[in-house]
Copies of this chain bind each other. A is one copy, B any other.
């Protein structure tokens, strides 16, 4: 079977369920395992390590919200998820690191194609593609 260890990376927006359903369908077809990850881009990372205020509370809040949304997302899938991971750091580098540690053979990410948020989410998909340790599937999400 082509893919046995799929890592699904989600931004936990409303679009994530479309991408997650596709990843779940692939897992079903291949009989493989699914790990779902969400990377909270650390503010330290985004601002070069030089944030002039204490951001511990904000980071904790972000993590609590992410955990809730992750739980809702995973509950909607019709397959069991092997693992969920919420981590902080650089989005692309964390996705690559986790894919490598899990010996993943496929990373699944969302992509907005030509529409609205293309610049934002398109570049994440591009970033994940660049330097990925394995194959990358960009699932085109549709505006509802």
CA distance A90 to B118 in the complex (A): 21
In contact, A138 and B139 (Cβ under 8 angstroms): no
Binds B, one of A55-63, A74-82, A121-129: A121-129
Most B CB contacts (10 A, CB to CB) among A113, A132, A134 go to A113
**With known contacts A22-B2, A25-B2, A126-B126, A137–B140 Cβ distance under 8 A:** no
Number of chain A residues whose Cβ lies closer than 8 Å to a Cβ of chain B: 26
Name A residues whose Cβ lies closer than 8 Å to a Cβ of B: 1-2, 22, 25-26, 29-30, 111, 113-114, 118, 122, 125-126, 129-140
**With known contacts A29-B30, A125-B129, A138–B135 Cβ distance under 8 A:** yes
In contact, A22 and B135 (Cβ under 8 angstroms): yes
So how many copies of this chain end up in the complex?
2
CA distance A130 to B136 in the complex (A): 14
Residues of B within 8 A of A29 (CB): 1-2, 29-30
Closest to A133 in B: B113
Residue in B30, B133, B134, B139 whose beta carbon sits within 8 Å of that of A135 in the complex: B139
Residues of B within 8 A of A137 (CB): 135-138
In contact, A129 and B126 (Cβ under 8 angstroms): yes
CA distance A113 to B126 in the complex (A): 11
In contact, B140 and A111 (Cβ under 8 angstroms): no
Closest to A25 in B: B2
